Chains A and B, each alone.
Chain A
């Protein structure tokens, strides 16, 4: 009896040490003292259990952790994160032989962290091969890899975008009614958008340019998510981190579910009191998201900080950060851009040039100008998919941004100066035309609303 109790105690200790060491490598460098200390403690815990059992097996059965043949219900209840991580890698059993060394343990936990980062890019065999050693064996269940979809078709992209807007409304509604935005729907939607950002960024971004008068709240959520992920992708970010950026941006304004509608939709300038209430959405958003399980930690941070600026201005009042993290900065840029670009009840859409100018206001002290530059290069003054009027009065759709001169994109002319539709559209590189080449069209004079011309610019991309 006494032996059974002791084994239970040692097993409980082992699980906590194991959980601590895996959490440690997730948060600290491998050589951090906390990681080393937890590794030593894990080795101790294993030694103690090996005195009783030849091999020590940590298993995952349903939602319960098992050590050897002992179900560890109490430990399992506080080890949700460990269970989630094991499950995400499809690990159902880890066997430690008595001769396991400290080096093997360190290699195992290091690899565990690395494998998590490449989740979705490694094959099943890769994962087991990377984690196992002479004294540590990993039993895995098969995870069905998501088959890559070809989302390059414009119709598919449009469908994806429409679905994303629809899901955004579901997420918003769930946040409004029970203070917990539906994380499953949101995550699934972000997965799709992230994939599309990787495969057909231009078309997806072009969709963000469409002005949805009635669905501003939801299109803004989706647009900011897309624009943030597109910026992040340009910095080489991909995989889980890209999706976390997307999720954070999607949720950045979720705190507005608590803002009174009359303030949210007020066409006139807000009074000081109303503005104070409006400003609370950053706090409410952070509280809602931080209190929702399965929402990644970056999301509440971005919701809280997305109105903070690098020069210390912005809100929530009384909060300052010596530096802002990348996700907050990218989301902040995307938020300002999309909010000003979109047409709302009380605000006419701003031309892109003016929006970008605002991003650079206050001597560029509010936003990181290197990121703004990247953003300008990403979307151009006249973003891909925008319908524009040329200096020749021709109407064209922007096909590609010429990074060195965002004022002169590549366009496809659709309407002649007299307004007649061209039977065969023609493409012009305005930056070449500006050199006095073959055509008179050399610059964009104004952005236009595609609805006025009854066309869908996306089909031309």
Chain B
């Protein structure tokens, strides 16, 4: 580094440019520190910075050498630098910047990373790996920064003046830059001289760094020096430690406590360097430590009392030391005051009797004592890295809040013992279940539903509330949400839906059945049916309730369900609906029976036709006539085969024959042939009507077999048959 005397002078124009730049830089740095990013003050100060930097770099890159109180432009500086130049130099120097090369003046925003760097406290800069590392991380190229290497300075300089102490302190504070052996040898010289070491301590106490940083720097220095001496010349170690102990008398109570808290608790007692030194403090050092603090603070502080008790654990020894300290204080201006004796007595009382016990219990005092050292420790912790802050902030992210909310509800449902209050908790829990089901998060919904189900299964006092909760769920949005997922979810999710539905119980059957009745998409229908079938006997029982519902829509749902269940077991239930008061229900039941398509089903239909009211018969007949579905052919065949055409169901019989014709039921030709020939001579008109209907059906079927039956009948049949066939030609 260059001292002021050696600086070549800067010409007037360059001085003016440098001064303008320094003013702009200082103002911009201040704006960035004080104002939020969007504040107009930042914009205007950046514009000025760009302007002044542009003037400096108009002819090409320039380099600033940084001194603690000056800036050199390409090695030259003003003999009497402007205040702004001095302050900007100090600002850069404080941030450990030794050299700045400005290649160009970029856009205003590109200055922000640099200014933000200057806005950081030096502790933060160190914690971030130093100014070079932080600057490199910004990716900016318009400036090159060279960090001050204090270890190098130590090698080049001795110590003695205040600025040199500052340099040593900076070197020790710069934890990222190692103190090499050469630098340490200079420090050994400092520590080996009690007077110089005491000067160093006083300079350290007066530095701007925080207490934690000061302690870290001092320990770094002491440990480095002690290790070096132990390695190179162990015989000098003991005198060295005694010198250091003498210097400890100059420490403030705060820094001493900080040093002790740093070292306290180490497993390796030999490494407890601070205690090794502290135990070598002489009576005079200890008394000096006390008197210095009392003089400075105008009395004893709690921190002095704490430190004193740690340094002098032997209570018997304390009065003697305090007498020596009293003598020191009496020699100070404090000792000449009228109230000195009272002041000293108060101080002595505090130093000998200080304890937390008068305020708190012994256990609490221990905590307090431990915490106090941590309070100082905590000061030293470097700024939280982005990862840690990220973890904190993520702990309240949307996904985590959802989990927290679910966990809260589960906890409340588990903790709450009062049934009424528990019922209140079920209200938001139900809302949450619906929300989860809307999303398709069946895991979470299942957990909550399980808590309800457990209360019911275990018959706890909350059972009734749980049952109410299930009813509310079933009557709410849950079923709609559930069924909306049926078409898209995978098998695992479908299993969860099934589990959830079965946990809630048979009350879901009705809405499921209603959904099934409405649903038109095959995949959804299949899964709904599977769900309903899973209820087994309970499902069937529920259908029983549905079909007797006064609501026609619900009865219709029962029919859908019975139809989906299929099998002969459904037929009796469907058969009762054939006699329903609503024609539409009758028709639906008829269709359902048709879908089942067994002999038993058709038998039930016949029974209904035979025994039902006129209205029933009429409705069913109408439905049959309207039925133009190939699946109905077996039913029509059944009717033709089984129903007495002379009985009350004659009309049904005739409609069945017509339907076979209309549906081109080629398999029914033989059956129709059988129906063509029988006749009753005493009912000629009715016989003729039947034969004409059959002949017409055969003609509609129109297959060769049907045509052959008609041809044979026309040629060889009895007269009535021939007449019927001829009539339809």
Contact = CB atoms under 8 A, between A and B. Distances in A.
Contacts of B232: none
Contact of B368 (A237, A297, A298, A361): A361
A300 B429 CA distance: 13
Given A291-B428, A297-B401, A318-B415, A404 B213 contact: yes
B625 interface: no
A236 B520 CA distance: 52
A362 B363 CA distance: 10
A372 B378 contact: yes
A363 B379 contact: no
Interface string B137-161: 0000000000000000000000000
A374 B384 contact: yes
A360 B404 contact: no
Contact of B488 (A29, A44, A290): A44
Interface stretch (A32-40, A136-144, A266-274, A337-345): A32-40
A290 B425 contact: yes
Contacts of A392: 298
B396 A236 contact: no
Contacts of A81: 435
B210 A405 contact: yes
Interface in A81-111: 81
Given A78-B480, A376-B378, A391-B297, A287 B211 contact: no
Contacts of A304: 408, 411-412
B434 A34 contact: no
A6 interface: yes
A75 B367 CA distance: 58
Given A360-B371, A364-B374, A406 B408 contact: no
Contact of A435 (B206, B371, B408, B477): B206
Q: Most chain-B CB neighbours within 10 Å: which of A9, A75, A329?
A: A9
Nearest to A244: B396
Interface in A403-454: 403-407, 435-436, 442-443, 445
Contacts of A235: 389, 392-393
Interface string B203-245: 0011101111100000000000000000000000000000000
A327 B392 CA distance: 9
Contact of A34 (B211, B392, B395, B440): B440
B507 interface: no
Contacts of A329: 392
Given A361-B371, A373-B378, A287 B301 contact: no
Contact of B297 (A17, A75, A77, A442): A442
B518 A297 contact: no
B438 interface: yes
Interface residues of B, number: 71
A135 interface: no
A237 B301 CA distance: 39
Interface stretch (A20-28, A153-161, A187-195, A218-226): A20-28
A358 interface: yes
A202 interface: no
B388 interface: yes
B211 A78 contact: no
B298 A301 contact: no
A283 B421 CA distance: 10
Contacts of B185: none
Contacts of A245: 396
B460 interface: no
A290 B428 contact: yes
A319 interface: yes
B581 to A, nearest CB: 23
Contacts of B481: 16, 78
B727 interface: no
Nearest to B406: A297
Q: Most chain-A CB neighbours within 10 Å: which of B296, B371, B388, B405?
A: B371
B370 interface: yes
A414 B213 CA distance: 32
Contact of B415 (A9, A316, A372, A443): A316
Interface string A27-64: 11100001001101100100000000000000000000
A339 to B, nearest CB: 17
Nearest to A282: B415
A19 interface: yes
Contact of B395 (A17, A20, A326): A326
Contact of B477 (A17, A77, A244, A362): A77
A145 to B, nearest CB: 16
A12 B389 CA distance: 43
A13 B210 contact: no
Q: Secondary structure of the A side of the interface?
A: helix
Contacts, number: 186
Contacts of B123: 404
Contact of A287 (B209, B407, B424, B485): B424
A265 interface: no
A40 B372 CA distance: 58
A370 B388 contact: yes
A241 interface: yes
Contact count band on A: 35 or more
A236 B393 contact: yes
Interface string A321-332: 101111101000
B440 A286 contact: no
Interface string B580-598: 0000000000000000000
A445 B409 CA distance: 49
Contact of B374 (A301, A360, A374, A406): A360
A356 B480 CA distance: 54
Contacts of B209: 404
A138 to B, nearest CB: 22
B400 interface: yes
B489 A37 contact: yes
Contacts of A5: 518
A286 B412 contact: yes
B553 interface: no
A361 B367 contact: yes
Contacts of B411: 304, 316, 319
Contacts of A4: none
Interface in A360-383: 360-364, 369-374, 376
B439 interface: yes
A357 interface: yes
B484 A17 contact: yes
A301 B405 contact: yes
Interface string B480-502: 11001101110000000000000
Interface in B355-376: 364, 367-368, 370-372, 374-375
A9 B296 CA distance: 85
B398 interface: yes
A38 B404 contact: no
Nearest to B297: A391
A81 B207 CA distance: 58
Contact of B121 (A77, A403, A407, A442): A403
Q: Most chain-A CB neighbours within 10 Å: which of B207, B368, B412?
A: B412
A325 B439 contact: no
A389 B378 CA distance: 25
Contacts of B395: 323-326
B400 to A, nearest CB: 7
A220 to B, nearest CB: 23
Contacts of B415: 283, 316, 318-319
Chain A to chain B: the 8 pairs with minimum beta-carbon distance, closest first: A404-B210, A78-B477, A360-B371, A373-B378, A435-B206, A325-B395, A361-B367, A326-B392
Given A37-B488, A44-B487, A364-B378, 14 more contacts: A9-B519, A20-B439, A20-B440, A23-B439, A24-B440, A37-B489, A78-B434, A298-B401, A325-B404, A326-B392, A357-B375, A359-B371, A364-B374, A404-B209
22 contacts: A9-B520, A13-B484, A20-B440, A23-B439, A24-B439, A28-B398, A38-B439, A44-B488, A78-B480, A236-B389, A286-B412, A290-B409, A291-B424, A325-B395, A329-B392, A360-B378, A361-B367, A361-B370, A363-B374, A405-B211, A405-B379, A435-B205
